[in-house]
Structure 1
Amino acid sequence: MVEAWSDLCDRTMLEAMQDTFEPRLSQRVRQAILLRLPPDEQRRLAAQRGMAVFMSIRGQKAFRRSWVRTVNAIWQAAQDDSTGLTYVSKRLTLGGLYASVFLYWLSRGSDSAGFEAFVDRRLADVLRIGRLKARFGVATAKPETVAG
């Protein structure tokens, strides 16, 4: 049941993002995250209860499936069309970013301004890491394409 609810939240976010014309990928990712994790107290309480189910021994596989689907849905909502290693690295990067954002949202998501600022800082961190890699010659995608 919790996995189906998570999927419904993903589809709702995808629907809301259909008419997005933001040119920057990072801003589309930001918008998708903010739509996926709204400042709605009822949604946060439901997510907290759902996480209790996901973290049980029987729920961990469902949690992994839901997490991967959500990360993929965010990239789909952001209209990312990467392939190959870039596809994988972007999803891994977003998976980590989304973990920190999700935990912040669970604990302090009712403060929408604080939450948005936290999301912005996490996205800026990813861009900064991409720029550092490029500076030191580490093979990677362009910084703007890593987080958007």
Structure 2
Amino acid sequence: MSQTPLDPVKQQLLDAIIPHVAFDGWAPVAFNAAIADAGVDPAVARTICPRGAIDLAIAFHEQGDAAMVAALDAADLTGMRFRDKVAHAIRLRLRAIPDKEAVRRGTAMFALPHMAADGARLVWGTADAIWTALGDTSDDANWYTKRLTLSGIYAAVVLYWLGDDSTGGQATDAFIDRRIDGVMQFEKVKAQLRDNALLKPLTMPLARLMAGIKAPRRDMDPDLPGVWRDPT
């Protein structure tokens, strides 16, 4: 997966806004300060970022995803269990964050009711980036359930990480492992229920229904959460 590089002016604004976010959040006052610091024409800045600081907060998150994918591509995952690859990807995503306070402020902003859809899309995009980078080839309902489950894990990890003051983030590392272990146990129980002959009459109708669900096509609207990304 590749990401189109940011417009150079947008990159200037993003670099300029970060120092202000810690004090003002991803707010209009921070956006205006970034415009002044970057020496960008205000009309040009508002054309590139119609939603102001919100557009820069989204770009900040997506740059982190791209940095994580690049780190995953360069990593040697040979011999790792798949659960460990996922855990490693989450850790790489956290390491790709250059400013913890910017994430704290962004988390608060995207938790607001009118911003929740944007926040959910970004978390889903992170989960999709991880699965795609790890070579996920599912094209049925599993495509969605994998990303939904990982979205929940990643969102919980970020909240835990924001409050973690342990040495070297050891507490967060342990939390990541616990969350993934919990999901693996749940998947094991699901498999046991699915294979239970006594429950077949109950599970088969649902299995048939799920079999009809397909992953998004590459030609779908790219603004929809979780659609295929162009690999070129």
TM beyond 0.5 = yes
Superposed CA RMSD: 2.3
Structure showing the higher helix proportion among its residues: 1
2:66 paired residue number = 11
Query: In 2, Cα distance between the equivalents of 1:96 and 1:132?
Result: 19
Q: Compare CA radii of gyration and give the structure with the larger one.
A: 2
TM-score by length of 2: 0.54
Moved more, 77-86 or 5-14: 77-86
1:44 aligns to 2:100 (yes or no): yes
Q: CA deviation at 1:57?
A: 4.4
Q: Relative to structure 1, is the Cα distance of residues 108 and 39 closer, same or farther in structure 2, using a 3 angstrom cutoff?
A: farther
Contact 1:17 1:32 in 2 (8 A): yes
1:86 paired residue number = 142
1:133 paired residue number = 190
Higher relative contact order (CA 8 A, sep 6+): 1
Query: In 2, Cα distance between the equivalents of 1:39 and 1:66?
Result: 15
Q: CA deviation at 1:58?
A: 4.2
In the alignment of these two chains, the number of paired residues is: 139
Query: In 2, Cα distance between the equivalents of 1:15 and 1:94?
Result: 19
Structure 1: state its 5+ residue gaps.
Answer: 141-148
Output the amino acid matched with 1:20.
Answer: A
Structure 2: state its 5+ residue gaps.
Answer: 1-55, 196-202, 208-232
TM-score by length of 1: 0.82
Contact 2:110 2:118 in 1 (8 A): yes
Say which of 89, 94, 104 aligns to 1:32: 89
Superposed, 1:59-70 pairs within 5 Å as: 59-70=115-126
